[in-house]
Structures are given as structure tokens and as C-alpha cells.
Amino acid sequence: MSTKLSLNVNKIATLRNSRGQNRPNVVDVALDCEKFGADGITVHPRPDERHIKFQDVYDLSSIIKTELNIEGYPNSKFMSLISDIKPSQVTFVPDEPGVLTSNSGWNTQLHQSMLTELNSELRLHGVRSSIFVDTDLKNIEYAAMCGADRIELYTGPFALNYSRDKEDAVKNYINASKLALELGLGVNAGHDLCLENLKFFASKIEGLLEVSIGHALICDAIYYGLQKTIQMYQELLK
């Protein structure tokens, strides 16, 4: 079974917002991404709405036919959005307000009580839960204890070290995914995965269910076109 590709459309919204109009149209692009072969759409609305706006998420929720994955920090506004939309998956990310991009995973032991409550709330809504974590095995153990359905492995360090020593770069991710599977957690991954490193990563991670990719894929689409780029990424995941 191939790993699913969830395409993060935040960068499309960033481009749109730069002109204060509605071009490119995020909803239209998301529909095209599905048509071109994406298995799902990811959005990450931040409090300042500097890319994806909360209204975008409502608009997307009514038309996405694959899976909608909503990432974000679980403040009251975010959780109200989730309650209204009930997407396929929610990925809790420990972003501080104003952070440029997600660059660390949860300390799940420190935040065990909060994450347990949040996962219980998602279960009531029938929404699959995922917790953004690094490869620290203790954080994966506590993610399971919090009642998460999945983890999303933060792959920034892997991408950073890939060109230096790819076997060493992926080592901790192999161990992390093995433990997750033993604990009954599904495994997703995301951050700086690209055409150069994706096939190697996916081939090494047993049971990898989904990758969420946005920035790199949209950059590649400038050169190859959106449809061809999505197909290129999907080929790497087969």
C-alpha cells in the first residue's frame, strides 16, 4: 500500500495574500490538486492568518473529496473550527504565535494532560488525531498514552542532514516509527521532504501512512507544473 500524499496549500494562500485579491484561488487549486492525484489536502491556519485564513478552511471543508488534514496549535479558536468542520484528521502542532514555520515537536510528557483531553474531544467528533513529534522515543510513548491515533514525525533534521549522511539521518526515524507501530500508533511525516529525499525516507520507514508536503512541492511546480509535480511525488511514494 502506497504512502498517501497530503498536499499543503499554505503557500498558495501566501501568494494570494501578497496581492490582497483572490488569485490564485485556494479552493480551485485544492480541487486541481485532488484531480491531479493528491490523496488529501493539508492546511495550517495560524492566529495571524498570514497564509491560510479560517474562512479558507470552511470553504475547503465543503468541497474536498479526499481527506482534509487541519494542522495547528489547539487554542480555543482552532478547536472551535474543528468542532464546526470535523475534518478527516487534525494534527496538533506546538507552534508559538508568530513562528515562521513548525520547527519542533511536542513535549508530550509535559503536555500529557492537555493532549489527552484534546484527543478525547476529537474522538467525540469522530476525527482522527495526530500529534507532531520529534524522534525522542519518550515523546512517542507519551503520545500513545495521550490517546492519539497517529504521530507525525518532524522530518526537518532528516532533511538537513540527508546530503551529509542519509543513513545516519534516517536512523532515529526508523527507530521512532518501529516504536510507534508497536504502541499501535499510525505514522505520518512532514517538513522539508522533497524530490531529492522523499523516496529514500519513505523506503526506510515501515508503515508510513502519509506525508504532508507543501513548500517544496509548490517550489518544484514553478518549474515542472503542478500536475506533473504531483505525479512525480506520487511516483516516489509507490
How far apart CA 14 and CA 175 sit, in angstroms, is: 35
Q: Which helix (H) or strand (E) holds 214?
A: none
Phi-psi region of 207 (alpha: psi -120 to 50; beta: other; left: phi over 0): left
Catalytic residue among 67, 71, 152, 210: 71
Find out whether 150 and 111 touch, Cβ atoms under 8 Å: no
How far apart CA 96 and CA 94 sit, in angstroms, is: 7
Nearest to 82 by CA among 67, 205, 232, 90: 90
Catalytic residue among 34, 44, 67, 210: 44
3-state DSSP call for residue 228? helix
Catalytic residue among 67, 111, 152, 191: 191
71 is catalytic: yes
Q: How many CB atoms lie within 10 A of CB 147?
A: 16
Find out whether 68 and 92 touch, Cβ atoms under 8 Å: no
CA angle (53 as vertex; 51, 58 as ends), nearest 5: 140
3-state DSSP call for residue 237? helix
How far apart CA 133 and CA 61 sit, in angstroms, is: 26
Residues taking part in catalysis: 44, 71, 191
